[in-house]
Each structure stands twice: as structure tokens, then as C-alpha cells.
């Protein structure tokens, strides 16, 4: 199952190395140049955010890394192995929880076990542990419609982690949640990540989320998508609910705002 | 529990009240039985002719179920193919739309000419008429699946078979069931109409004979039996839905 055939400790992540990645959807006059060419490098166990305006190709980048869409040009290597099929050692969380409405919370998570034919007992124990860490204990047998938006997204995170992937891909996972829930779930995700150190590619619109979670923030612009700035976030972990406690936070945030203003994404008078 | 009891006895009370008003009016204005029989007359008639109605009702029910199943299964299968494969959609859908516009009940005389005096043309017509609504609902159901669910299933390495059973079919099931609940009642109508045209048994045949002899109470008796069959078949599908799709229980929009 390992992408490179070697044993990797369960608590480390995969590396991503993308060179000249370009994506054009469609052909001929209706073709849409969505992304690139961009280079993308993520170290094993690194938490990297992609931030940028809507339609800048962030989600496309994620789908390309997951091997779910094919690059038009360029190549992507995961742990040094060129990507040619959908990446299997991965967990994906979308903005909508995308839980199956006909399965209970625990059975949504155990879907990974069923489809991947993993050990039932072991996966169930891991699912239970994740439920506890994510504050979902007691919600196991509820259907998605019986859960709050925040809890659904927590189940979705459990589903993305239960099979111990080496990489977590998150596409605006907290975008549909209210601000209070978002702050809590951000912290819970950070704690889980500190424990397992998976490689995370985190796509967001929120400067606070990007700076609050990441080791590194990549700022993107649109038409077609390009990486225009790279910011190393050097703040201690775990980071607090109120990021304003760090004087540096304001500087990091300011840098993203300034970039967006330079690009004409913000037009303040 | 009290809620459920209320759901049953409130409509029952209304219904009984309606029958009483009917009874009183018929008696008060001395309406003749062959024009409008009093409820007491045709309800007694059901008991009087119980064996016959039961036998003929069973014959009709058998045809309904055969036709319904014969229409439903290809409807769901073709619905899946049209929703999943672009080529099937391009080749089949225009044809489906065209045939759907045809009032299929008018095919009855043709089918009777072709297949004669047997159950086969009745089952065929019933299946044809149930097929199209089920097909349309299945296409809608299979297409309702979020594209990103396909991404998830592919990243899990799911086979086509796993994707079908664990993602697609359950996603389509609510649409399919709402189609089933509507078409089962249509199937009752179709079978009785075809029995009018060419039959020596079944409820449709009983109605026709009753009409010839101006036996209006018997017509009403058959109406009661036919609608009872329709209600029970519909209820059977609701029960099946609750068993197969337990997550739908309690979902507010569960019609």
C-alpha cells in the first residue's frame, strides 16, 4: 500500500513535490486555464495552507495532488514516486461534510475499513479513539441529519484519518461552520496533527485559519492560479484561540492582506 | 404512540362520518340503489360476495405485482445506465422521452391483437406503464450523487461494484422509492382497465359484468376492494422502505 514500497513509521507524513503543474479544463475555445504552471513542495509532516480568492485553483491543486484529476502539464511526486493513479494513502475532507446520509456516524467512518478491507477490530478501536478526541463519543449511532454542522465535519475528519493515511487534504473544511465552532475545531485539528504529524495540505479563504494552523502559508492569485507569496509561520504550538495574543500574528496577517491588495483582490478606498 | 393512534383514528372518524352522511342522504331522498347505493347496501354486498371478490381480487393483485416488478427492475437498471454512462444517455434518452409522450394505455388494443386472450398482454402493458416513471426517478436518483462522493470513493480505492452498492444505490434509493409509491397505484388502475377490454376474470371483469346488469352496489363493492388493494400495496412499499432505508425514518421530508 505504501506509495514507495518502503515501510514508513505510522506517525510520519508523505512528501509532495510538484514541478510545473498546470491544469487546463476542456479543450478548444471553451478551454479554461485554471492553474499554473506552479511548483509545490511540501515536506513530510508539514502543515501547509493554500490561501487565495475563489477560483484561484486551490481546490484544483488539491485534486491534482490526490491524483483525482490529471495534470495537463508537469508532474507530481508523492514520496518520490510519480503520481499516476488516485492516491490511496490519503484522507480528504471537503467543505461539505459529504457524509453518506444513509449511514450512521460510526459506519461513515468504518466505510474506510469496508472498502479498503482493513482489519475490522483494529479500525473500530481507532475510530473510537478518534471519536473521543473529537468529542463525538455518544454520537456513533446517529445519522448525519441528527448531528450539528460542526459534529458532521468532525465525523468527516475522523473518516479521513481512521485508516492512518500519510497525508490529509482539506478543502475549506471549516468554511461552512460558524466562527465559534470554527475556532474550536481548528484547535482540535491542531492537537490531532501534533500527535500524528501527517502531511497536511489545507485550503482556506481564512487568513486566521491559515496563520493559526500552518507551518507555511502559500498565497495564491487567480486567472490562472499562481503562487505569489510564501510565508513561514514561526509561532509556538499549540496556538491559542485568540491569535491576537501573538504580536507576530498581526504581521503575518498584514502580509497576506498587503499581497491581496497588491494583486487587486482587495479594492479598499 | 398517542401520535400514531391519532393518525389512524382521526381519518377513520372522518371517513365514518362521511359514510353516515351518505347513508342518511340516500335514505332521506329515497335514491334508487342502481343509481347510488347506500353504504350499508354495498358494504353488505362485499360480505355477501366475499369469496368471489377475494378470488377475483387475488387474480388482479397477481397481475398488478407481476407487471409492477417487470416494469420496476428494468426501470432501475436502465436508469442507472442512463445516469452513469454518457453514451447510454445519448442513445436511449431521446427514445425514452418520445415513448413517454405516448399515452401507453392506447397500446392495449394492439397488445391484445398481438398476444391474444392471456395474462401476458396485461402484464406487459402494466410493466410498460410503471417502467417510465420509475426510470425517470431512477435517473434523477442516480444523478443526485455529489461528484465529490466519486472522488472519495476513488481515493478509497473502491471498485465499481463497491461504488455502486455503497454509494450510488443508497443515494438513489429515496428517489426510487418515491417513484414506487406512485406507480404501484397506477398499476392497479392499468390492470383493471385492461381487464375491461379482454378478460373473463379479475376485478375489471366483475365491474363490467355488474355494469351490464345494472348492479351498481356490486360496482361499489369492487371499488372498495380495488382501493383496499391499492392502499395495502402502497403500504407494503412504505414498510419495505422503512426496513431497507432505516435512515429515512424520522427525516422530516419523508413524504
Closest CA–CA distance from residue A209 to any residue of chain B (Å): 23
Nearest CA in chain B to A168: B155
| Residue range B70-94: mean pLDDT, rounded | 91
Q: Which of A89, A94, A100 to mutate to test the interface with B (most CBs of B within 10 A)?
A: A100
Domain with residue A79: its CATH number is 3.40.50
Query: What is d(CA A256, CA A233) in angstroms, rounded to the nearest whole number?
Result: 12
**pLDDT of A254 above 60:** yes
Question: Do A92 and B155 make contact, defined as CB atoms within 8 angstroms?
Answer: yes
In whole angstroms, give the CA distance from residue A106 to residue A127: 7
A192 belongs to a structural domain: no
As a dihedral over the C-alpha atoms of residue A103, residue A105, residue A109, residue A115, rounded to 10 degrees, the angle is: -10
In chain B, which residues have their Cβ closer than 8 Å to the Cβ of A83? none
Give residue for cell 392471456: B118
Residue A50 lies in a domain: yes
pLDDT at A3: 44
The model's confidence at residue A121, banded by pLDDT at 50, 70 and 90, is very high
Among B residues 158-187, those touching chain A with beta carbons less than 8 Å apart: 158, 162, 166-167, 170-171, 173
Question: pLDDT digits over B90-134, tens only?
Answer: 998 888 888 888 888 888 888 888 988 788 999 999 999 999 999
Assigned CATH topology for domain B39-248: MetI-like fold (1.10.3720)
By the CB < 8 Å criterion, does A87 face chain B? yes
Q: B170 contacts in A (CB within 8 Å)?
A: 100, 102
Q: Which grid cell sits at B171?
A: 443515494
Contacts of A242 (CB under 8 A, 6+ apart): none
Residue A110 is assigned to a structural domain of this protein: no
Q: Is B3 on the interface with A (CB under 8 A)?
A: no
Question: Is the minimum CB–CB distance between A101 and chain B shorter than 8 Å?
Answer: yes
Task: Give the range among B99-108, B140-149, B205-214 with minimum mean pLDDT.
Answer: B99-108
- Tens of pLDDT, residues B210-255: 999 999 999 999 999 999 999 999 999 999 998 888 876 655 444 3
Q: In chain B, what are the domain boundaries?
A: 39-248
The C-alpha of B97 sits at a distance from chain A's nearest C-alpha, in angstroms, of 29
Task: Work out the average pLDDT over A127-144.
Answer: 92
- Cβ contact (<8 Å) for A92 and B152? yes
Q: Give the number of domains in chain A.
A: 1
Cβ separation B155–A94 shorter than 8 A = no
Cβ contact, residue pair B155, A87, below 8 Å: yes
Task: Compute the nearest-CA separation of A158 from chain B (Å).
Answer: 14
**pLDDT confidence of residue B253:** 45
The reply to whether residue B247 touches residue A143, judged by beta carbons under 8 angstroms, is yes
DSSP H stretches of helix in chain B: 2-28, 39-48, 50-84, 86-101, 108-115, 120-143, 147-155, 160-163, 169-197, 203-212, 216-244
* B156 in contact with A, Cβ within 8 Å: yes
Which residues form the domain of A238?
1-86+215-269
Joined together, the cell numbers standing for residue B217 give 352496489
- Cα–Cα dist B201/B54, whole Å: 12
Amino acid at each position: 500500500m505504501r506509495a514507495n514500497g518502503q515501510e514508513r513509521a505510522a506517525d510520519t507524513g508523505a512528501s509532495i513535490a510538484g514541478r510545473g503543474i498546470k491544469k487546463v479544463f476542456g479543450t478548444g475555445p471553451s478551454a479554461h486555464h485554471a492553474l499554473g504552471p506552479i511548483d509545490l513542495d511540501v515536506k513530510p509532516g508539514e502543515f501547509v495552507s493554500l490561501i487565495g480568492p475563489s477560483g484561484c485553483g486551490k481546490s484544483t491543486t488539491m485534486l491534482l495532488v490526490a491524483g483525482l484529476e490529471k495534470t495537463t502539464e508537469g508532474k507530481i511526486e508523492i514520496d518520490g514516486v510519480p503520481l499516476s493513479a488516485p492516491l490511496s494513502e490519503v484522507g480528504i475532507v471537503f467543505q461539505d461534510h459529504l457524509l453518506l446520509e444513509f449511514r450512521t456516524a460510526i459506519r461513515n467512518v468504518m466505510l474506510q475499513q469496508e472498502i479498503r478491507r482493513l482489519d475490522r477490530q483494529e479500525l473500530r478501536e481507532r475510530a473510537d479513539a478518534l471519536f473521543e478526541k473529537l468529542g463525538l463519543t455518544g454520537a456513533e449511532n446517529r445519522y448525519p441529519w441528527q448531528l450539528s454542522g460542526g459534529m458532521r465535519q468532525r465525523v468527516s475528519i475522523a473518516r479521513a484519518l481512521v485508516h492512518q493515511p500519510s497525508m490529509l487534504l482539506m478543502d475549506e473544511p471549516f468554511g461552512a461552520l460558524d466562527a465559534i465552532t470554527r475556532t474550536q475545531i481548528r484547535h482540535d485539528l491542531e492537537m490531532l496533527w501534533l500527535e500524528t504529524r501527517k502531511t497536511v495540505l489545507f485550503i482556506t479563504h481564512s487568513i486566521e485559519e491559515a496563520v493559526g494552523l500552518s507551518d507555511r502559508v502559500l498565497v495564491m492569485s487567480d486567472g490562472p492560479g499562481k503562487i505569489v507569496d510564501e510565508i513561514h509561520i514561526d509561532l509556538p504550538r499549540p496556538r491559542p484561540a485568540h491569535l491576537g495574543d501573538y504580536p507576530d500574528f498581526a504581521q503575518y496577517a498584514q502580509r497576506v492582506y498587503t499581497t491581496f491588495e497588491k494583486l487587486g483582490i482587495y479594492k479598499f478606498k | 404512540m398517542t401520535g400514531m393512534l391519532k393518525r389512524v383514528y382521526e381519518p377513520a372518524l372522518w371517513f365514518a362520518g362521511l359514510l353516515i352522511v351518505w347513508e342518511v342522504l340516500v335514505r332521506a331522498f329515497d335514491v334508487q340503489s342502481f343509481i347510488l347505493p347506500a353504504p350499508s347496501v354495498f358494504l353488505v354486498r362485499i360480505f355477501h360476495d366475499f369469496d368471489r371478490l377475494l378470488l377475483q381480487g387475488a387474480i388482479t393483485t397477481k397481475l398488478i405485482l407481476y407487471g409492477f416488478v417487470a416494469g420496476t427492475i428494468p426501470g432501475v437498471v436502465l436508469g442507472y445506465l442512463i445516469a452513469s454512462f454518457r453514451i447510454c444517455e445519448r442513445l436511449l434518452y431521446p427514445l425514452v422521452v418520445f415513448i413517454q409522450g405516448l399515452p401507453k394505455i392506447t397500446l392495449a388494443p394492439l397488445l391484445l391483437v398481438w398476444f391474444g386472450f392471456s395474462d401476458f398482454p396485461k402484464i406487459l402493458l402494466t410493466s410498460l406503464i410503471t417502467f417510465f416513471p420509475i426510470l425517470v426517478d431512477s435517473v434523477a436518483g442516480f444523478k443526485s450523487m455529489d461528484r465529490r462522493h466519486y472522488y472519495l470513493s476513488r481515493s478509497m480505492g473502491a471498485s465499481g461494484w463497491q461504488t455502486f452498492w455503497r454509494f450510488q444505490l443508497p443515494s438513489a434509493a429515496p428517489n426510487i422509492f418515491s417513484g414506487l409509491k406512485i406507480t404501484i397505484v397506477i398499476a392497479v388502475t392499468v390492470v383493471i382497465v385492461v381487464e375491461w377490454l379482454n378478460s373473463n376474470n379479475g376485478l375489471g371483469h366483475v365491474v363490467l359484468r355488474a355494469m351490464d346488469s345494472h348492479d351498481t352496489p356490486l360496482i361499489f363493492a369492487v371499488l372498495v376492494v380495488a382501493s383496499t388493494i391499492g392502499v395495502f400495496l402502497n403500504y407494503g412499499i412504505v414498510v419495505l422502505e422503512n426496513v431497507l432505508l432505516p435512515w429515512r425514518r424520522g427525516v422530516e421530508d419523508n413524504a
